[in-house]
Amino acid sequence: MIVPIGPIHPALKEPVRLKLQTEGERVVKAEIEYGYVHRGIEKIIEGQTWQKGIYLSERVCGICSYEHTQTFAETIEKISDVDVPLRAQFLRVITNELDRIQSHFLANSTFFKAMDHETLFMHVLELREYAMDSIELLTGNRVNMGWNVVGGVRMDADERHFKPILENLKKIEEGFETTRALFAEGPALALRCKGIGLMTKKEAIKGRAVGPIGRASDIKEDYRIGHYTYDDHFDFKVIRRKEGDNYARTLTRFDEIPESISLVRQAIENIPDGEVRTPADLKSGYAMRRNEAPRGEVTYMIETNGNLIKNISIRTPSISNMDSCAKYMIRDVPTVADAVATYASCDPCVACAERVAITNEHGKTDIKRIDEVI
């Protein structure tokens, strides 16, 4: 029989429709239907200045909002040959890694909620608040930060910001190992996670899985490797696992958090003096830029015409991760409840997946399935 979940359902953070084909309780096949949160944000950005474009790019995804503005800014900087001051690059790393910490905590808390484990759900959200407080202290906002500009960052920071951020990181570390152990060593959770939602490395490559979802299936890509700031000034380890199940995806996110804490500390301890912004004049041209958002690869392709954005194409991580989830992870899980938990384990974001605008011959926007235009 077919079991529909959504588009509006208590188990889903955002409207999307899952169609589960079952034999008894076992799920043998899953399909995912998009089209309920369509915004056409790329079409809206066309014809705007970079100042308006970067503002709109931050609203592609709420949880990965910071990385969208950084990737937008770096793409424009590449077109316009702008050298970003080193101090601004370090401030971007601090903000990027704080954002990764809070995103991973939120993703895991959502997974624990789907597993009906209220204790871990609340513990993880409590730790997340220290990262959110640090982001607010540094940028003035908790979600849409308005922190990046073309040429650097909007404001400087000093010891008044760095000292409480380091104190918050210490508080995260104090509760982190206990919280991680509750999941990693909990026998009841292990029974519902290990071997559930399996995706092999070959399937992850075929499904174009990215970020912690791909790395939990032993894919090595992390686009911080190859980024000019990270390569030249920071040391960190790429976290990978081989199991490719719900357990591995959750632990991959957990184990990336200490690496992000280390990167923030390195940036604060070694931040150079200097300016935080270089004045920039937008040139005409085309460039592409990739970065590692909390959920995985974010790619911006921008063509400019003088001071205006002529064309923009954005590739977000959620579309490939959600497709991989439907094609490979949910297939053959023991129960419908496990299908819901598996969906949550891939950290889906429907809003950023459904950002494409398609216009027909009459100039009207057509809403089409995302996989028809990717």
372: pLDDT confidence band, cut at 50, 70 and 90? very low
State pLDDT tens for residues 18-61: 899 999 889 999 998 888 887 788 889 999 999 999 999 998 98
Whether 367 shows a pLDDT value over 80: the answer reads no
Backbone angles phi, psi at 229, to 5 degrees: -75, -50
In this model, does residue 371 exceed pLDDT 80?
no
H-helix or E-strand spanning residue 139 = helix 118-139
Name the residue with tokens 């199991």. 243
Q: Find residue 26's DSSP bridge partners.
A: 23
**Dihedral angle, C-alpha 201, 203, 208, 213, nearest 10 °:** -60
Distance in angstroms (rounded) separating the CA atoms of residues 56 and 47: 12
Is the peptide bond prior to 10 cis by the omega test (within 30 degrees of 0)?
Answer: no
- What pLDDT was estimated at residue 288? 94
Q: Which of 108, 29, 109, 116 is nearest to 325 (CA)?
A: 29
Pick the closest to residue 356 from 316, 324, 322 (CA basis): 316
Residues 79/285, Cβ–Cβ less than 8 Å: yes
The whole-chain average pLDDT of the chain stands at 90
Instruction: Kindly give the interhelix angle for 159-184 and 118-139, rounded to the nearest 10 degrees.
Output: 160
- Give the type of residue at 338: D
* Whether pLDDT at 366 is above 60: no
pLDDT in tens, 174-209: 999 999 999 998 888 888 899 999 999 999 999 999
d(CA 142, CA 329): 32
State the DSSP H helix or E strand holding residue 298, giving kind and residue range, or none if neither. Answer: strand 296-305
Give me the pLDDT at residue 186, please: 81
Give percent above pLDDT 70 in the chain: 95
Predicted confidence at residue 356, as pLDDT, reads: 52
Residue 365: per-residue pLDDT: 38
Would the pLDDT of 361 be above 70?
Answer: no
Tokens of 25: 């309780």
Percent of the chain with pLDDT over 90: 71
What digits encode the pLDDT tens for the residues 132-157?
Answer: 999 999 999 998 999 999 999 999 99
pLDDT recorded at residue 5 = 86
Report the pLDDT value the prediction gives residue 137, as an integer from 0 to 100. 95
Tens digits of per-residue pLDDT, 307-345?
899 999 999 999 889 999 999 999 889 999 899 999 999
Q: Where are the domains of the chain?
A: 40-317
Residues 6+ apart with CB under 8 A from 317: 64, 210, 211, 213, 293, 295, 296, 297, 298, 352
* Contact of 22 with 4, CB cutoff 8 Å: no
What are 90-102's pLDDT values in tens digits? 999 999 999 999 9
pLDDT at 11 over 80: no
The pLDDT-based confidence of 358 (bands split at 50, 70, 90) is very low
Give the other-Cβ count within 10 Å of 235's Cβ: 9
The reply to whether CATH 1.10.645.10 applies to domain 40-317 is: yes
Burial class of 280 by CB neighbour count within 10 A (0 to 12, 13 to 18, 19+): buried
What would you measure as the largest C-alpha separation in the chain, in angstroms? 65
Six-digit token string for 17: 């429709």
Note whether 43 and 347 are within 8 A (CB): no
The band of 296, judged by pLDDT with boundaries at 50, 70 and 90, is very high
Can you tell me whether residue 78 is helix, strand or coil? helix
Residues 214-263 pLDDT 10s: 999 999 999 999 999 999 999 999 999 999 999 999 999 999 999 999 99
pTM above 0.85, yes or no: yes
Whether residue 374 has pLDDT greater than 70: no
List % helix, strand, coil for the chain (3-state, nearest 5).
Answer: 50, 15, 35
